[in-house]
Amino acid sequence: MELKIFIVLFCTLFTGGNSLQCYECSGKMGSCVSKEKTCQDTETTCGSATTVVSTGGTEVKMQSKGCILKENCISGSVNFEVERLVMSTKCCSTDLCNTQDAPDYGSNSPNGKQCYYCDEKNCFNKLKCLGDEERCFTGKITDGSVTQTAKGCVSKSICDAASQANKGFTSFSCCQGNLCDSAMSIKQNLLFLLWPLFFYILIH
């Protein structure tokens, strides 16, 4: 199910309709067959993204190319403990310049920072952040009468973009300092919570 969501997400990562032309494709690494795409007026950059999704010790590497807003050319990671998404984006501004794949981004080494994360029972769990995950985040989303919460570690670049979008969330915030995303108890589906947010960041 998670893989299907990622395929949909990265099909919409780079969207096109200015005269700039970019190569466009999305899919698992090695299966991305590029075609030429004319960008929309607001899309002045061609991008290539490599994303590694880690779930329970299993990694899936995704690739996307296409038209992208310059401000969305970001690299970073978000870490829920049970799932981690690491995205590397390489951008350029001439026709069909996004031929190369974006290199893998970041490190899997602990950086000494800790944040709370949530499982199906509570949000009192402590997570060791990796690479450049120097922020903690808390996001809440309301679906009908149910409010759910996600917590974890996040890179500053993704945190900044997410706080600007704040799409689909009743609140989204990042903070600095160990365990600054104060613990609370709540049931939730972690991966489901952030998809509206990442979807918004990557296509706007």
Predicted confidence at residue 19, as pLDDT, reads 80
Write down the pLDDT at residue 155: 93
Report the distance separating Cα 21 and Cα 41, nearest Å.
11
Q: Which CATH class is domain 110-203?
A: mainly beta
Quote the pLDDT of residue 170. 54
Between CA 198 and CA 204 the distance in angstroms is 10
Instruction: Identify the pLDDT of residue 122.
Output: 86
pTM, 2 dp: 0.72
What is the predicted pLDDT for the residue at 86?
A: 92
8 Å CB contact between 156 and 113: no
Q: 107 Cβ partners below 8 Å, 6+ apart?
A: 130, 131, 132
Q: What's the pLDDT at 165?
A: 55
Q: Does domain 2-92 bear CATH number 2.10.60.10? A: yes
> CB 170: neighbour CB atoms within 10 A?
11
Mean pLDDT by 10-residue block, N- to C-terminus, for the chain (204 residues)?
44 54 89 88 91 87 90 88 90 94 85 91 91 89 73 88 57 86 51 44 44
DSSP-H helix ranges across the chain: 2-11, 156-165, 190-203
Phi, psi of 11 (to 5 degrees): -65, -25
pLDDT for the residue 160: 78
Instruction: Parse the chain into domains and list their residue ranges.
Output: 2-92, 110-203
Q: Do domains 2-92 and 110-203 have the same CATH topology?
A: yes
